[in-house]
Amino acid sequence: MLLLQSIQTFDPDIAREFGGGVTQTDFLGVPLFDATSLWTLLLRFVFNFLVCWIIIRFFYYRKSQRRDYYFTFMMFAVVIFLIITLMENMKMNVAYALGLFAIFGMIRYRTETLRIREMTYLFVVMGVSIINGQALTTSYAELFLTNLLVILAIWVFEGSKHMKQLSEKVILYDKIDLVKRGREAELKADLEERTGIAIEKMEVGHIDYLRDTAFIKIWYKPLPGEANTIGTFTKLKEF
């Protein structure tokens, strides 16, 4: 009984003070191996990766078919989770985490401007990764419920009939007489005939009477798996 009590009250710091040894090895004050921390990190990483993969694979990618953003979002999830988790040893507070989030949130890719849908999923992936990496004192049940609520919210809004995504194109149109008010039906019929697209709505933009042309933006329902990444470009330098 006395031996058991001594083992339970063993303190590594006291052992070092009196010249005793400890079983855990370290290098320059940093443990070489901590089984508890390692398994905790691995478990939370797998959980966060799985949640982000479900969001991106079954909600974002199913409609957009953008493999470049698929890769980007997943790498954001991995790196941000590891940053938040491993820097917890520095007692990183919530303000620091939100500041880090703001820095990444301001990133603009030079090839093209991120659309609202891509920015939304980037926000979701980053937010979920921060939550999973920072909530070290939260129970697994609460953490699971939080992630489940995020997935359910995305499922509800993505599946809503009022939230169906429309693709868009900008067309340089040459029949200038059809852009007049009152001839919308003729304009729509001509555009559908020439493009083969069932137009949901349209909007007339810049009109050039010197060249008899006008820019018209149309919205339509994309086919399953159809991607539209350059539909709004009007100049070669925008590619």
Q: What is the pLDDT of residue 216?
A: 93
Residues 141 and 91 occupy one common structural domain = yes
Single out the residue of 196, 198, 191, 199 nearest to residue 173, CA to CA.
Answer: 191
Domain with 86, as residue range(s), is 34-163
Which residues fall within 8 angstroms of residue 58, CB to CB, at 6 or more apart?
Answer: none
User: What is the domain count for the chain?
Assistant: 2
Task: Give 203's strand partners.
Answer: 217
Residue 73 lies in a domain: yes
Q: What is the pLDDT of residue 147?
A: 94
Residues 148 and 40 occupy one common structural domain = yes
What's this model's pTM, rounded to 2 decimal places?
A: 0.63
Residues 122 and 65 occupy one common structural domain = yes
Confirm if 234 and 216 have CB atoms less than 8 A apart: no
Rounded Cα distance between 220 and 216, Å, is: 13
Q: What is the pLDDT of residue 6?
A: 44
Residue 12 lies in a domain: no
Tokens found for residue 31: 């443990």
For residue 78, what is the DSSP state? H
Residue 84 lies in a domain: yes
Cα 21–Cα 27–Cα 28 angle in degrees, nearest 5: 100
Give the chain's largest Cα–Cα span. 100
Q: What is the pLDDT of residue 8?
A: 47
Residues of the chain with pLDDT under 70: 1-24, 27-30, 88-113, 160-164, 224-239
Residue 5 lies in a domain: no
Q: What is the DSSP annotation of 210-222?
A: TTTEEEEEEEEPP
Cα 199–Cα 204–Cα 210 angle in degrees, nearest 5: 130
Single out the residue of 57, 81, 73, 90 nearest to residue 132, CA to CA.
Answer: 81
Confirm if 139 and 194 have CB atoms less than 8 A apart: no
Tokens found for residue 124: 């979701």
User: What amino acid occupies position 9?
Assistant: T
Q: What is the pLDDT of residue 10?
A: 47
Residue 19 lies in a domain: no
SS3 201: strand
Sheet with 199-208, strands from edge to edge, namely: 167-173, 213-220, 199-208
Residue 175 lies in a domain: yes
pLDDT digits (tens, 9 = 90+) for 133-191: 877 777 888 999 999 999 999 998 887 665 667 788 899 999 989 999 889 999 999 99
Residues 124 and 187 occupy one common structural domain = no
Residues 50 and 154 occupy one common structural domain = yes
Region of 95 (left: φ > 0; alpha: ψ -120 to 50; beta: rest) is alpha
Residue 18 lies in a domain: no
